[in-house]
Amino acid sequence: MVFCLNYGGRAEIADACAAIAKEVRDGKISGDRVTEKMISEHLYNPDIPDCDLVIRTSGEQRTSNFLPWEAAYADLDFVPELFPIAVETCYGVRSTTTFTATVVSAASKK
């Protein structure tokens, strides 16, 4: 589980691009060889795997600039409960059930 406080996903991607641009300028890499993997490696926490599931509490139905790169292919679950109450009432029940159903549904289509 990853919590981000005072975090902006767009800023993280911009910082990753700036770091890559510096490496291009310094001749460490070729500018025409920038890959998704390279961008991932320059994010704030490159060792955190991409998200499988993003749970948004409070009833808001938007991601609010939260992990836009890492959550690009994640399932999204919007729950009305507030954090931390949602941990007890939703994370272990509703979201896991929804995610499991999605995985089972996707697996059955193969």
Report pLDDT digits (tens) over 66-76.
889 999 999 99
- Owner of token pair 């509490």: 57
Number of C-beta neighbours around residue 42 at 10 A? 19
Q: Length of the chain in residues, anyone?
A: 110
Q: Model-level pTM greater than 0.85?
A: no
Over 80: is that where the pLDDT of 100 sits?
no
Straight-line distance from the first to the last Cα atom of the chain, in angstroms, rounded to the nearest whole number? 28
Q: Which residues, 6 or more positions from 17, have their beta carbon under 8 angstroms from its beta carbon? A: 39, 42
Mean pLDDT of all residues in 81-94: 66
Mean pLDDT of the chain: 80
43-57: string of b/e by CB count within 10 Å (b at 16+)? beeeeeeebebbbbb
